[in-house]
Chains A and B, each alone.
Chain A
Amino acid sequence: AQSVTQPDIHITVSEGASLELRCNYSYGATPYLFWYVQSPGQGLQLLLKYFSGDTLVQGIKGFEAEFKRSQSSFNLRKPSVHWSDAAEYFCAVGEQYGGSQGNLIFGKGTKLSVKP
């Protein structure tokens, strides 16, 4: 069965520092991959998605992610973190079987704290 692993439950970075959030997926073929962000008390907002093509994808709020097939990874990066980036981040993979028409499988999330 497909799965998504976010190894880090909680990460703290200083404002202005770079950020990398890890995501690993299990699936044989090229998956559709997504990163979402959830601010406290809010729903999830799509940051970026990868369907095919260039393995480095740009998203909103200055985020980018790189698809690495050899490592089954889709890590999220930002060169300089702002205090407003403090939130929970979810990686997701599109479900791949005959009957699926758009389901996503989510990781358990990584909570990001930002130190002043």
Chain B
Amino acid sequence: DVKVTQSSRYLVKRTGEKVFLECVQDMDHENMFWYRQDPGLGLRLIYFSYDVKMKEKGDIPEGYSVSREKKERFSLILESASTNQTSMYLCASSIPGQGGQPQHFGDGTRLSIL
């Protein structure tokens, strides 16, 4: 079974801090994704990556950056955390494929910015 592991289930940080969310997958998947999930808004794509050192902006990249130095690891960075970034963050991975492929999700990180 594919396993996607997010480093923290719960995280509390202060406004202005630089925050790192880590995600590791063990199935050698090329694609990795970061979403945020808010009530009533569903999943919104922040960034995705098709390969090592490659990244693409999703629908809501403002205030975030990402890093993919190794194939199995995809990090989400909040450069200067703000209260409106309090949310559930979900990481996912998949194989590439035109038209969409099943994504495998981690358990999520619930981030609170105080």
Interface residues of chain A, those whose CB is within 8 Å of chain B, are: 9, 31-32, 34, 36, 41-46, 49, 51, 90, 92-96, 100-104, 106-109
| Given A43-B106, A102-B95; A90-B100 close (CB under 8 Å) | no
Hey, which chain B residues are within 8 Å of A107, CB to CB?
Answer: 42
Q: Quick check: A34 and B102 within 8 Å, CB to CB?
A: yes
Q: Which residues of A contact B106 (CB under 8 A)?
A: 43
Q: Which residues of A contact B48 (CB under 8 A)?
A: 103
CA distance A55 to B95 in the complex (A): 24
Q: Which of A45, A102, A104 has the most CB of B within 10 A?
A: A102
Q: Are B43 and A106 in contact, with the CB atoms below 8 A?
A: yes
Bound-state Cα–Cα, A94 to B101, Å: 7
Contacts of B4 in A (CB 8 A): 43
B-side residues, CB < 8 A to A, are 4, 30-31, 33, 40-43, 45, 48, 50, 90, 92, 94-108, 110
Assess the A108–B41 pair: CB atoms within 8 A: yes
Residues of B close to A102: CB separation below 8 A: 31, 94-97, 100-101, 103
**Contact status B97-A101, CB under 8 Å:** yes
In the assembled complex, which residues on chain A have CB atoms less than 8 Å from the CB atom of B104? 46
**How far, in Å, is A48 (CB) from chain B's closest CB?**
10
Judging by beta carbons under 8 Å apart, are B42 and A93 in contact? no
Contact between chains at A94 and B99 (CB < 8 Å): yes
Whether the pair A96, B40 counts as a contact (CB closer than 8 A) is: no
Are A94 and B108 in contact, CB atoms less than 8 angstroms apart? no
Given A43-B105, A44-B90: A108 touches B99 (CB 8 Å cut-off): no
CA distance A51 to B92 in the complex (A): 20
With contact pairs A41-B108, A45-B105, A101-B31 given, residues A34 and B100 touching in the complex (Cβ less than 8 Å): yes
Contact of B100 among A9, A36, A44, A93 (CB under 8 A): A93
Q: Are A104 and B31 in contact (CB under 8 A)?
A: no
Which of chain B's residues have a CB closer than 8 A to the CB of A9? 40
Closest to A94 in B: B100
